[in-house]
Each structure stands twice: as structure tokens, then as C-alpha cells.
């Protein structure tokens, strides 16, 4: 049996295998509310055979949306809109459901990617953004407002309230988004955080607010359900956040009760220089895992089943998260299982699709048709 297809327990939640459908922004919500697109998108990915499906970055307040189309969970309406989506998944799939909760900070109020992704001014229907410091993400953009103590409290309590709603929806796991240049990452990186108070300056100070937010989330989520964190292991910019910083942050998160670290990179500066190649971020997951002992998720240009298998077999990571590759091939886990001699869960309506030489792909024999 390939270790990619062995179970893993995270607190009281057990995943059937080590494949995670990564959170992928769809920019298709209505005032933060999920709709038919989310039912279709998440519904078909729930039939992928992966061990866990993570709902896209979900804003904790309207001003925390990357775009006006971002999914949110900040009031009764946004909560109610997710009820039928989650209920449909539960009816037809045993997949575990996670939710990534987030605040975009200075990267908020932007056009959707297929319309350029540029900052939208308040005059054009956007809003004033907030960040650790009044530093724009790109030259020429309007600077964000630096969060004061009341603002920090507001954001922290927004994460707390969203977590309560997620728990009420029956979400199995929470992932706090502290990567890709969004608000938590902005506090961590000296590129975005130039505060002179207790939340800026030293690495310990820059870690303070993300750790406070993590504590608020962990306290509100049921003790038998896991909470993980996505991080950017490096900014890929001279003078920015580094892998050594990430290891220190992961060690602190472990002490605060984190259940996994999802290790990505970049996003805080348009000056980043990323050497893209297959599996280029796996060594970051390996470094965090070996330094902390925490379960890690590896991401980034992992598309080949043997590549994913090897990352788990070598102990570089405990799970593999698939994003674009899963959009391109929503049955990637089926095909990986067939190649690696494993089996996956699939709805009985699909059992007859298995190839004749893969009689046990779905754990069942091929069925006929009347």
C-alpha cells in the first residue's frame, strides 16, 4: 500500500488518505454568500476520492475579502448560504471538510484575477484596506490604514466569530491563512510590518498578532477537531520572511496547539523571485516537519502520483495538497490510486467506470447493468 493512501488522524478527525483538495478561491460569491457555483464546484471535488476537501479562503469580515466576489462567513446570511452546500456534500461523500479562514489585509478590495486583479479604489466600488503598517502592496497603490489597537481587536474577534459559525456548520477542521501576503502574513513579514509597538520590530513581536488570532480560533473550535495553519515559508525577497523564521513560527504554533502546518511560500511582495519547478516547496515542508515534529502539508507543482507518493514515503510531508492539478483533473486521486495499486472511496453510481484491470480501485468488483 502506498503511504499516500494510508489514513491519518488529526485529533478526533481521521482522513482516509493523505490527499487534500487545497483551498482555491473562486471569486464567485454574492456579498460573501455561497451560491450554486459553490455547490457544483465543491460538490464535484467532494467525489474526488481525496481524504479532505478544504473550502476556499473565507473572509471573516467584508473588508477582509480579496475581491468583492470572495466567500465569507461573518453573519447569519453567509452562514445560511453554506448550509445546503455542506449538506449536499455530507449526503453523497464521506470526505472530511475543512475551511480556510482569512483576512486579505492590504491585498483586499481587488478585481478578480480574470479582470486584472488590480486594487479597486473606493470611488470605483472598492473599500479602504487595513494592514499592520500604512505600506501599499505595490508602488502607486493607495496605502492601507494601519490597524490600531481597536482594529486589532475587531479583526481578532472576527476570526473568533467566524470559527464559531464554522463549528456550528459542522466543519471538520479549520486552517488559518497566514500565507500568500494576506493579513496574518503581513504581520509576520518585515516587508509589510514596520510597526514600532508590541506588534512590530522583532520576530517575536511580529508573530504576536497571528498567534493571538490562532489562540482565538483554537479556543472557539471544538477540542476534538483540528486547527492548522498555512504559512509562506519564505518571501523570496531579500530582507523578508525566511525559512528560519517559519520554523520559529511553527514551533510557537505547536506550543499553542496547532495540528498541522501547510507550507507554501511567497505572496507578500511583487518583487518576489520564485524558482518554479516540480515540488519546489516540498523541502520547506520537510524542514518544518523535521524541526517541529508537526504534521505538514506539502504543496506546489505536485502533479505526478509517484512524486506525491515519494514525498510521503520519504517523510518529507504527511499530506499532499492539490490545487490547479485537481481543477484540471478532478479525479486525480482515482488515477493515482490506480497507478499506485490502492483504492479510493467513490459513489456507487460511478463504480462501473473503473477500468477492467482495476477491479479493486473502488474497493468493489465491477457491477453490471440490467
| pLDDT per position as a tens digit, 332-359 | 999 999 999 999 999 999 988 888 777 6
The answer as to whether 54 is a domain residue is yes
Query: What gap in Å lies between CA 242 and CA 38, rounded to an integer?
Result: 35
Q: Which tens digit of pLDDT belongs to each residue from 126-171?
A: 999 999 999 999 999 999 999 999 999 999 999 999 999 999 999 9
What is the pLDDT, as a whole number, of residue 365?
47
Q: Give the mean model confidence (pLDDT) for residues 74-92.
A: 98
In a domain, residue 364? The reply is no
Active site residues: 182
pLDDT at residue number 368:
52
pLDDT, tens digit, for every residue of 309-340?
Answer: 999 999 999 999 999 999 999 999 999 999 99
Q: What is the pLDDT of residue 364?
A: 54
Q: Is residue 240 part of a domain?
A: yes
Cell of 39: 455547490
* Cα distance between residue 189 and residue 269, in whole Å: 10
Per-residue confidence (pLDDT) for residue 366, from 0 to 100 = 47
Indicate which CATH number applies to the domain containing 230: 3.20.20.70
Give the per-residue pLDDT at 356.
76
| CB distance 204 to 195 below 8 Å | no
- Phi then psi dihedrals of residue 9, to 5 deg: -100, 130
What are the backbone dihedrals phi and psi of residue 99, each rounded to the nearest 5 degrees, phi first? -135, 130
Residue 362 counted as domain residue = no
Residues 126 and 142 sit within 8 Å (Cβ to Cβ): no
Using DSSP's 3-state secondary structure scheme, residue 62 falls into helix
CA distance 66 to 108: 4
Query: What are the tens digits of pLDDT across the range 196-248?
Result: 999 999 999 999 999 999 999 999 999 999 999 999 999 999 999 999 999 99
The predicted model gives 13-25 an average pLDDT of 98
Q: Flag whether 358 is in a domain.
A: no
In whole angstroms, give the CA distance from residue 193 to residue 185. 9
Residue 367 lies in a domain: no
Total-model pTM:
0.95
Q: Which helix (H) or strand (E) holds 327?
A: helix 324-328
> Looking at the domain assignment, is residue 369 inside a domain?
no
Tell me the three cell numbers of residue 83. 448550509
Q: Check if the beta carbon of residue 294 is closer than 8 Å to that of residue 250.
A: yes
Taking CA atoms, 119 is separated from 85, 124, 204, in Å, by 30, 10, 31
Contacts 24+ apart (CB under 8 A), 350-354: 350/47
Domains identified in the chain, total number: 1
Mean pLDDT of 264-289: 94
The fraction of the chain above a pLDDT of 70, given in percent, is 98
In a domain, 183, yes or no: yes
Residue 12 to residues 26, 96, 197, 276, Cα–Cα distance (Å): 30, 12, 39, 36
Reference 106, options 142, 73, 77, 144; nearest CA is 144
Residue-range definition of the domain harbouring residue 267: 3-353
- Distance set, CA 365 to CA 58, 152, 343, 351, 356 (Å): 40, 56, 12, 8, 10
Report the alpha-carbon distance of residue 275 to residue 288 in Å, rounded: 20
What are 291-303's pLDDT values in tens digits? 999 999 999 999 9
Cell triple for residue 178?
A: 497566514
Amino acid at each position: 500500500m502506498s503511504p499516500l493512501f494510508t489514513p491519518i488522524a488529526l485529533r478526533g478527525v481521521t482522513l482516509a488518505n493523505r490527499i487534500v483538495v487545497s483551498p482555491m478561491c473562486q471569486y464567485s460569491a454574492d456579498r460573501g454568500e455561497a451560491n450554486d457555483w459553490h455547490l457544483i464546484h465543491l460538490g464535484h471535488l467532494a467525489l474526488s476520492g481525496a481524504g479532505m476537501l478544504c473550502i476556499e479562503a473565507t473572509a471573516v469580515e467584508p473588508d477582509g475579502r480579496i475581491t468583492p466576489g470572495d466567500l465569507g462567513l461573518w453573519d447569519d446570511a453567509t452562514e445560511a448560504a453554506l448550509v445546503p452546500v455542506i449538506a449536499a456534500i455530507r449526503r453523497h461523500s464521506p470526505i472530511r471538510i475543512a475551511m480556510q479562514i482569512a483576512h486579505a489585509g492590504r491585498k483586499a478590495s481587488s478585481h478578480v484575477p480574470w479582470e486584472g486583479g488590480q486594487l479597486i479604489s473606493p470611488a470605483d466600488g472598492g473599500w479602504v484596506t487595513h494592514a499592520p503598517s500604512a505600506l501599499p502592496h505595490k508602488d502607486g497603490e493607495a496605502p492601507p490604514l494601519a490597524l490600531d489597537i481597536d482594529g486589532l481587536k475587531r479583526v481578532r474577534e472576527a476570526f473568533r466569530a467566524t470559527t464559531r459559525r464554522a463549528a456550528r456548520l459542522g466543519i471538520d477542521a479549520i486552517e488559518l491563512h497566514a500565507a500568500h501576503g494576506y493579513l496574518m502574513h503581513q504581520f509576520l513579514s518585515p516587508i509589510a510590518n514596520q510597526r514600532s509597538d508590541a506588534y512590530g520590530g522583532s520576530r517575536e513581536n511580529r508573530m504576536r498578532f497571528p498567534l493571538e488570532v490562532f489562540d482565538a480560533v483554537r479556543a472557539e473550535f471544538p477540542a476534538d477537531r483540528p486547527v492548522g495553519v498555512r504559512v509562506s515559508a519564505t518571501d523570496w525577497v531579500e530582507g523578508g520572511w525566511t525559512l528560519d523564521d517559519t520554523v520559529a513560527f511553527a514551533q510557537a504554533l505547536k506550543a499553542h496547539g496547532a495540528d498541522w502546518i501547510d507550507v507554501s511560500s511567497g505572496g507578500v511582495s511583487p518583487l518576489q523571485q520564485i524558482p518554479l519547478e516540480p515540488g519546489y516547496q516540498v523541502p520547506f515542508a520537510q524542514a518544518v516537519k523535521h524541526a517541529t515534529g508537526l504534521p505538514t502539508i506539502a504543496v506546489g507543482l505536485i502533479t505526478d502520483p509517484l512524486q506525491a507518493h515519494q514525498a510521503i514515503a520519504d517523510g518529507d510531508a504527511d499530506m499532499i495538497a492539490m490545487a490547479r492539478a485537481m481543477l484540471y483533473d478532478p479525479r486525480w486521486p482515482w488515477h493515482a490510486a490506480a497507478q499506485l495499486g490502492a483504492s479510493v472511496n467513490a459513489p456507487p453510481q460511478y463504480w462501473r467506470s473503473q477500468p477492467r484491470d482495476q477491479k479493486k480501485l473502488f474497493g468493489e468488483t465491477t457491477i453490471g447493468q440490467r
